[in-house]
Amino acid sequence: MFDRLEIFALASARAQHAAARQAVVAQNIAHADTPGYRAQDIAEFAETWRALQQGQSGPPRVIDAGTPASPNGNTVSLELEMLRGIEAQRAHSRALQVYGSAMGILRTSIGR
């Protein structure tokens, strides 16, 4: 009964999305000096959530970050990557807080 509560699925999916975005940010930063490297990002969470609701599984879709290229063709901007990393960290923290709050409400409702 409790294993199908949507709030837990949503929080879990949001945390996984944030973790995947953080991994892509780390990969971009690692290739900041690689000539011709194109910075990547993860598709918005809403798209990922719609795919999960339709029964599709797998990692979130990786997209081109759309940042301008430097003279060597690299599109990684360390400043933007730092911002994306912070956004991912905040999204992950929010997901964990939602999960924890839902667990607290559930525990209260069953009297524990």
pLDDT per residue as tens, the chain (112 positions): 566 789 999 999 999 999 999 999 999 999 999 999 999 999 999 999 999 899 888 889 999 999 999 999 999 999 999 999 999 999 999 999 999 999 999 999 888 6
Note down the domain range covering 72: 2-109
Contact 77, 39 (CB under 8 A): yes
**Structural domain count of the chain:** 1
Distance of CA 65 to the CA centre of its chain: 14
Output the six-digit token pair for 62.
């990786």
